[in-house]
Amino acid sequence: MQIQTIMADHAIGPIHIVADGGRLIAMEFGDTEHRLMPMLRARFGKEPMLEPVDDLNEITSAIRAYFEGDLAALDAIEVDGGGTEFQRRAWEALRAIPPGETRTYGQMAAALGRPNAARAIGMANALNPVSLVVPCHRLVGSNGSLTGYGGGIARKRWLVDHERRHASQIQLRVVA
């Protein structure tokens, strides 16, 4: 296992990116980095050795493009977040939510065929190791309010607004 890491500055602040063999395995915002190593220890059973690198090519390029308005750029990033079968299904469903749109925890549970599992969706969302790329910021409370985001509600609001702004620009170009 060759786990590489880079801290990169972006429009929303520094992001710590961790990859193994070109696959994104963890991502944390700079001010929530204290969550990173416990998450990696829980997954791998020990504290992995992280090799700092200057660039992670496709991953960092795609994230940069996303912040510049290319909302589809994150789709190209290969992700390996570990997790249980249910968590992986929930995370895959998150990636299917179009940028600029949101879903409630209940809607996600229903989409996965488990209409009473909104809390389980919330827990899977909270344990998402690759936020942004697996867009847990696209889940909202049953009344549409922004709730529960490990990176903070202000950052969640920024991401949702960023996606809505750029998604609407894309729609305007398609219509014109």
Phi and psi at 85, nearest 5°, equal -60, -45
- Please calculate the CA angle 132-152-35 and round it to the nearest 5 degrees: 75
DSSP single-letter state for residue 50: P
d(CA 51, CA 173): 42
Amino acid at 66: Y
Which residue carries 């009344």 as its tokens?
A: 143
CA torsion, ordered 151, 95, 108, 26, to nearest 10 deg: -40
Phi and psi at 24, nearest 5°, equal -75, 125
Cα 46 to the center of its chain, rounded Å: 24
d(CA 139, CA 156): 10
Q: How far is CA 129 from CA 76, 79, 167, 173, 174, in A?
A: 17, 10, 25, 34, 34
| Residues designated as active site | 136
